Amino acid sequence: MAASVETMPDAPKTMRDIHAPVHASVAGVTRIFPAVGEQPPVHALGPLDLDLVKGEFFAVVGPSGCGKSTLLEVLAGLSAPTEGSVTFEGQPVSGQVPDGVGVVFQEDASFPWLTVWDNVAFGLRRAGFDASEITRRVDYAVGFMGLADFAQAYPAQLSGGMRQRVCIARTLVLQPRLILLDEPFGALDQQTRLLMGDELLRLWRETGATVLLITHALDEAAMLSDRVGAMSARPGRFIELVETGWPRERDSRIVSEDSFGRLTGHLWSLLREESMKASGHQMGRQK
Amino acid sequence: MSAVALDKPANATLRRWTDFFLLIAGLVVVWYLLHLWAGEVALTSPYETVAKLIDLLGQAWFWPHVGETLLALFYSLLIASIGGLGLGTLLGIHRLSGQVAEPILVALYALPKITLYPLILLIFGLGLSAKVAFGAIHGIIPVTIFALNAVRNIKPVYLKTARVMRLTPLQAMRTVWVPAALPEIVSGQRIGFALTLLGVLLGEMFASQQGLGFLIINAIGLNDVPVIMALALLLALFAVAVSSALLALDRKLHQRS
Amino acid sequence: MSKVGWIRLAIVLGSVGLLEILCQSGVIRPLTMIPPSRMAVELWKLGASGKLAPPVTKTLGNVAAAFILSVVFGFIAGLLIHALPRFRRALDPLLASYYAVPFFVFYPVLIVIFGMSDLPIIIIGFLFGVVAMIINTLNGLDRVPTVLLKVGRMNRMSALQTAALIKLPSAAPYLFTGVKLAVAYSFIGVIASEFILSGSGIGYDIAYAYNNFDNRTMYALMLFILTTVTALNMALYIWEQRMLKRRQGGR
Ligand SMILES: Nc1ncnc2c1ncn2[C@@H]1O[C@H](COP(=O)(O)OP(=O)(O)OP(=O)(O)O)[C@@H](O)[C@H]1O
Ligand SMILES: [Mg+2]
């Protein structure tokens, strides 16, 4: 699966099938958190539009607090937008998480009272799979995530990164058609991140799922995705949707490509001002 | 949208109070229905209870009893809250003593301390000191347990931060330890107050010739239901008023953290 | 046993030993307290004479009934109250001050209503225990991390499934605290009622012995209550620690 990097120059500029049907979309979405006590209402997101094309890998980058997690929750049906509409596979999303959507949350969401194995099996049991299928999928996922030695351990005995892998496995075994990941590799070291990125790419290719990945690492966004949405400071809006042009067959070795450096550089130039705004810096000095 | 959001806080406060009074009204209705069901002799009606209470409050002989109870409560609270706070803080700072003491404290907390009343009487005799002792042993243990946990559970990273910033022990105490532990400590004081009051009343019931507890046990002996009900109402009103104030403080502190 | 456990044991034994010495040497007068060893002997004699069994069965039976009612009703009530945040906010100050009101003052009222049976005592024990369970159920439900509830929604679980598979296990440590307190408060309620009016049970026997200057019986019975409650509490504590251990790991 690594063979593709050498063939890059001949590959078409973009491998994303722009004629594929829209899989999920948000239109005119805003999210305003109501006032609490003395704290005035917070306009966290939008107005914002996004069409996710079936089978694409979409990354979202943006300064801290710009509304990335909020966007994910709205898209997943976990919270209702203040204005605008969300659809998944042609059906409006409201109030409920639609079947076929999987979410990996930013916080640790492993159940402390279940073993790693039972955590991963949780969703499958709810969905009523039969025991042999559950065993097959869970064993595979636990091995795939490098947790085989810890299958019978409790989350408290794992590191933060390992717990996050438990949550990723728990979502992936359900084979969702739309996978929403909120900084899933945040607690991992750079090398493991790259490898996990490769695994995520392989999984994405094999399952044909649509992926939306929120990340704070620009290189990760540039490396993994077909398109990167760069968000403004709060209230978050897309300032640019950047096509990466990578072939579908790709892996972490593209970080040595020239175009990779250009891509990351471009993303940073887009986000630099926004990040400064978000962290309250004065701008203009570099103009 | 923003207009709705803006006038929300005022509405929320108003609504909270309305809800509270609705609840109280509901309880009074339940009380009245119970009164109708159980009959006049068994359970005085809300109206008559209030009338009886007002009557009692108008009697000159009644007030010394109230004063006596308040005095005993004051001393017991002093011992329970300050003693418990000091003890709990020490046990929280010194990790080993905390580990040794906690299960013992929990076991003491669970003991029905009322069993010990003959012992307290034999030690202190009838009177104020027995009541205070009874109140204090009820209150001091929860205060200690909460203070212990409050101090012990301060996140180590806060303490490290204080060290990195090179705060003096006093500065660290004032700016890190106290604010970090305060919410839990207030929760402990709140529970400590309720149990101290309970303890004082128990003490008065068995170990005193004065105070509201004594009036209650007297009324129980005479089977004077209106007086029992009126005194219970008075105590409930007092307890709810003080607890609500402490609860509001508790909430405010916990919200922040 | 761990080092901490040994120190704890030494402290407890040391305190009992000190008390023994103080009593034996006459620093504490025998009219105030008899030595712990004598209490044990008296308790043994009382047990052998068959005078212990009837009040013990009576009291423990009432406590058990009050405890079971408290835990079951307290948990269900906690779930319901938690589902009604407005009601709960209004109720909170009442729950917070609940334990300051000595509910056993209503014992005579209950006797008038229910007659001179065990029922009034069980009701008082229940009134004492149930609120500890409600408060701790609410506490536990409050602390269920929202992200775990989101996982439930992602798996499209029903309210009942969420309660049984996420809320209950997540709140379990707090529920355990509630159970422990329900035991303690059921004891307090039952024994206090027995002191006040009832004609039987351990509380009544202690008060009776006290009034008749029968220090030996009194202390034997007190020893019995204290050791029983402590043993029960220790058993629950050990069980709880075992359950929490794997969940908290080394942290
Ligand atoms: N429950 C809430 N109530 C009020 N405001 C909220 C709430 N959740 C989020 N916000 C606000 O919405 C804004 C966006 O939050 P969000 O969590 O989406 O940011 P984010 O882009 O995911 O940040 P990060 O990269 O740090 O995770 C923030 O400014 C935050 O203050
Ligand atoms: Mg986020």
A45 inside domain: yes
Residues A95 and A13 in one domain: yes
State the Cα angle at A115 between A110 and A117, rounded to 5°. Answer: 95
Residues A224 and A276 in one domain: yes
- Whether residue A47 is preceded by a cis peptide bond, meaning omega within 30 degrees of 0, is yes
CB C183 within 8 A of CB C173: no
> Does C17 lie at the interface with A, CB-CB under 8 angstroms?
no
> Does A152 lie at the interface with C, CB-CB under 8 angstroms?
no
Residues A171 and A181 in one domain: no
Residues C163 and C65 in one domain: yes
Residues C48 and C88 in one domain: yes
A240 inside domain: yes
> Does C107 lie at the interface with B, CB-CB under 8 angstroms?
yes
Residues A244 and A224 in one domain: yes
B20 inside domain: no
- H helices of chain A, in order, are 68-76, 116-126, 131-144, 160-172, 190-207, 218-224, 258-278
How far apart, in Å, are the Cα atoms of B66 and each of B62, B204, B214? Answer: 7, 12, 11
Question: What are the phi and psi torsion angles at A152 (to 5°)?
Answer: -100, 10
Question: How is residue C249 annotated by DSSP?
Answer: T
pLDDT values of chain B reduced to their tens digit, one per residue, 257 residues: 344 444 455 577 788 888 888 888 999 999 899 888 888 777 888 999 999 999 999 988 999 999 999 999 999 999 999 999 999 989 988 888 888 998 889 888 888 888 888 888 888 888 889 899 999 999 999 999 999 988 888 877 777 777 766 777 887 777 778 878 888 888 888 889 988 998 998 888 877 788 898 898 888 888 888 898 899 889 888 888 888 888 888 777 776 65
For residue A210, list its beta bridge partners.
A178
Question: How is residue A40 annotated by DSSP?
Answer: P
Find how far residue C159's CA is from the centre of its chain.
Answer: 31
B45 inside domain: no
> Does A79 lie at the interface with C, CB-CB under 8 angstroms?
no
Question: What are the phi and psi torsion angles at B128 (to 5°)?
Answer: -60, -45
Residues C163 and C87 in one domain: yes
A237 vs A225: CA distance, rounded Å:
19
For residue A103, list its beta bridge partners.
A180
Residues A111 and A239 in one domain: no
Residues A7 and A85 in one domain: yes
Residues A244 and A267 in one domain: yes
B52 class by beta-carbon count within 10 Å (0-12 exposed, 13-18 middle, 19+ buried): buried
Percent of chain C predicted with pLDDT > 90: 24
Q: In terms of C-beta distances under 8 Å and separation of at least 24 residues, what long-range contacts does B38-42 make, across chains too?
A: B38/C109, B38/C112, B38/C113, B41/B225, B41/C112, B42/B225, B42/C109, B42/C112, B42/C113
Sign of CA dihedral C84, C87, C93, C99: negative
C250 class by beta-carbon count within 10 Å (0-12 exposed, 13-18 middle, 19+ buried): exposed
Residues 6 or more apart whose CB falls under 8 angstroms from that of C141 comprise C78, C79, C82, C167, C171
Task: Give me C151's structure tokens.
Answer: 């996982």
C27 vs B123: CA distance, rounded Å:
13
Closest among B15, B144, A79, B56 to C149, alpha carbons compared: A79
Residues A215 and A90 in one domain: yes
pLDDT along chain A (287 residues), means of 10: 38 54 88 83 87 91 88 89 89 85 87 90 86 92 89 87 88 90 82 82 87 89 88 86 82 79 84 74 47
A245 inside domain: yes
Residues C66 and C90 in one domain: yes
Q: What share of chain A is helix, strand, coil (3-state, %, to 5)?
A: 40, 25, 40
pTM: 0.79
B200 vs B140: CA distance, rounded Å:
13
pLDDT tens, A239-269?
A: 888 888 888 888 877 778 778 888 888 888 8
B207 vs B126: CA distance, rounded Å:
5
Task: Using the 3D structure, point to which of A175, A201, A227 is the last residue of a domain.
Answer: A175
pLDDT tens, B57-87?
A: 998 899 999 999 999 999 999 999 999 999 9
Q: Which of residues 174-213 of C touch B (CB under 8 A)?
A: 180-181, 183-184, 187-188, 191-192, 195-197, 203, 206-207, 210
Residues A13 and A92 in one domain: yes
Closest among B185, B188, B198 to B72, alpha carbons compared: B198
Residues C104 and C157 in one domain: yes
State the Cα angle at C139 between C133 and C144, rounded to 5°. Answer: 125
A33 inside domain: yes
Select from A48, A66, A180 the residue to mutate for testing ligand 1; criterion: most ligand atoms less than 8 Å from CB.
A66
Distance A86 CA to ligand 2 centre (A): 19
Cβ-based neighbour number of residue C169 at 10 Å:
17
Residues C26 and C38 in one domain: no
Chains touching B, CB cut-off 8 Å, 3+ pairs: A, C
For residue A31, list its beta bridge partners.
A45
B101 vs B108: CA distance, rounded Å:
10
CB contact under 8 A, C153 and A96: yes
Residues 6 or more apart whose CB falls under 8 angstroms from that of A213 comprise A57, A58, A59, A60, A181, A184, A200, A220, A221, A224, A225
A197 inside domain: no
Residues A138 and A162 in one domain: yes
| Average pLDDT over every residue of C165-194 | 89
Residues C141 and C174 in one domain: yes
Residues A13 and A95 in one domain: yes
CB contact under 8 A, B119 and C98: no
Residues A94 and A227 in one domain: yes
pLDDT tens, B36-60?
A: 888 877 788 899 999 999 999 998 8
CB contact under 8 A, A156 and C172: no
pLDDT tens, A81-122?
A: 999 899 998 888 887 888 888 889 888 888 888 899 999 998
Question: How is residue C148 annotated by DSSP?
Answer: H
Closest among B118, B104, B116, B83 to B192, alpha carbons compared: B83
**Nearest CA of chain C to the CA of B97: how many Å?**
9
User: Quick one: pLDDT at residue B1?
Assistant: 38
Find how far residue C225's CA is from the centre of its chain.
Answer: 12
The finding on whether A16 has its CB within 6 A of some atom of ligand 1 is: no
Total domains in chain B come to 1
Find how far residue B190's CA is from the centre of its chain.
Answer: 5
CB contacts, 8 Å: C245 with chain A: none
Task: Using the 3D structure, point to which of A175, A198, A225 is the last residue of a domain.
Answer: A175
Total domains in chain A come to 2
B214 vs B206: CA distance, rounded Å:
8
A190 vs A193: CA distance, rounded Å:
5
A280 class by beta-carbon count within 10 Å (0-12 exposed, 13-18 middle, 19+ buried): exposed
Q: Which residues, by Cβ under 5 Å, contact ligand 2, an ion? A: A 69, 106
> Does C246 lie at the interface with A, CB-CB under 8 angstroms?
yes
Residue bearing the CA closest to ligand 1, atom 11: A44
User: Quick one: pLDDT at residue A284?
Assistant: 46
CB B67 within 8 A of CB B85: no
For residues A138-154, b (16+ Cβ closer than 10 Å) or e, as one string? beebbebbebeebbebb
B212 inside domain: yes
CB C103 within 8 A of CB C128: yes
Residues C154 and C198 in one domain: yes
CB B50 within 8 A of CB B59: no
A199 inside domain: no
**Nearest CA of chain B to the CA of C91: how many Å?**
7
User: Quick one: pLDDT at residue A281?
Assistant: 58
CB A45 within 8 A of CB A29: yes
Amino acid of residue A244: T
Range of the domain at C146: 34-247
pLDDT tens, C99-155?
A: 877 777 777 778 877 877 888 899 999 998 999 999 999 989 988 998 999 999 888
CATH number for the domain including C156? 1.10.3720.10
User: Quick one: pLDDT at residue B4?
Assistant: 42
* ipTM associated with this complex: 0.83
Range of the domain at A144: 106-175
C176 vs C187: CA distance, rounded Å:
17
State the Cα angle at C76 between C75 and C82, rounded to 5°. Answer: 90
Residues 6 or more apart whose CB falls under 8 angstroms from that of B156 comprise none
Amino acid of residue C118: D
CATH number for the domain including B166? 1.10.3720.10
CB C166 within 8 A of CB C144: yes
Q: Which strand ranges, in their side-by-side order, compose the sheet holding A42-53?
A: A42-53, A22-33, A83-88, A91-92
Range of the domain at B240: 63-256
Total domains in chain C come to 2
A36 inside domain: yes
Site of tokens 């005995």: A157
| Residue C81 predicted with pLDDT over 90 | yes
